[in-house]
Amino acid sequence: MADPDLADIERRMHSAVEVLRKEFSGLRTGRASAALLEPITVDAYGAKMPMSQVGTIGVPDPRMLTIQVWDTGLVQFVEKAVRDSGLGLNPQTEGNVLRIPVPELTEERRIELAKIANKYAEQAKVAVRNVRRDGMDKLKRLEKDSEISKDEARSWSQDIQKLTDANIKSMDELLEAKDRDIMQV
């Protein structure tokens, strides 16, 4: 008797929620956060390197980020990467330390960030629904091949739907919290 791998389905759905959580951490809310700079890559040593591999990111206060660049020769590359990141940040260089003031968000920018958050959430929901569809397709195949009964298929499909609903609800809660965070003045 074959069973659909509910643990695998749950793991795949949960990873979609984690990806959403990581994407939300990179969305700027007007407060300084090291997660804001983590996705930025720097052209260093002939390759693209994550910011965390060229310097130490610090948050000395709620409106300031610092990057202590380990190799003095990379300071201008790190500065260029931050300027070109599309985050609207303007670093100031002091030796091998970059000070990056985090400006207040305008109302227009807040609305734009809320739309981006909604887009991220919708992409994650689509990923969860795709996992559900894969699980349901496998159930149908197992039922068609007479490896499980109709009752078992119905029971498994209810379990998969419960997992889907729980993960979608979790994403909605994350989105609601992020929207509140973004719109907070």
Concatenated DSSP letters for 86-118? Answer: SS----EEETTEEEEE-PPPPHHHHHHHHHHHH
> Degrees (nearest 5) of the Cα angle 9, 157, 140?
95
Residue 1 lies in a domain: no
Q: Which phi and psi (to 5°) does residue 105 adopt?
A: -85, 135
Residue type, 116: I
Longest dimension (CA), the chain: 71
Q: Are residues 128 and 77 in the same domain?
A: no
> Which regions in the chain score pLDDT beneath 70?
1-4, 28-30, 185
Q: Are 65 and 102 in contact (CB under 8 A)?
A: yes
> Degrees (nearest 5) of the Cα angle 155, 136, 160?
50
- Work out how many domains the chain is built from and give that number: 2
Residue 93, strand partner residues:
98
Q: Are residues 114 and 141 in the same domain?
A: yes
Q: Residue 146 belongs to a domain with what CATH number?
A: 1.10.132.20
Residue 168 lies in a domain: yes
Q: Are residues 120 and 145 in the same domain?
A: yes
CA distances from 34 to 40, 44, 63, 138 (A): 11, 20, 12, 42
Q: What is the pTM for the complete model shown?
A: 0.69
> Looking at 82, 101, 120, which one is the last position of a domain?
101
Q: What pLDDT does residue 2 have?
A: 54
CA distances from 150 to 142, 147, 153 (A): 10, 10, 5
Residue 44 lies in a domain: yes
Q: Is 171 helix (H, G, I), strand (E, B) or coil?
A: helix
Q: Are residues 54 and 94 in the same domain?
A: yes
Q: Residue 53 belongs to a domain with what CATH number?
A: 3.30.1360.40
Q: What is the DSSP letter of 147?
A: S
Q: What pLDDT does residue 30 have?
A: 66
Tokens (6 digits) for 139: 């159930």
Q: Are residues 39 and 53 in the same domain?
A: yes
Q: Are residues 110 and 165 in the same domain?
A: yes
Q: Which helix (H) or strand (E) segment is 43 a member of?
A: strand 41-44
Q: What pLDDT does residue 28 have?
A: 67
Residue 97 lies in domain: 34-101
Q: Are residues 90 and 118 in the same domain?
A: no
Q: What is the DSSP letter of 146?
A: T
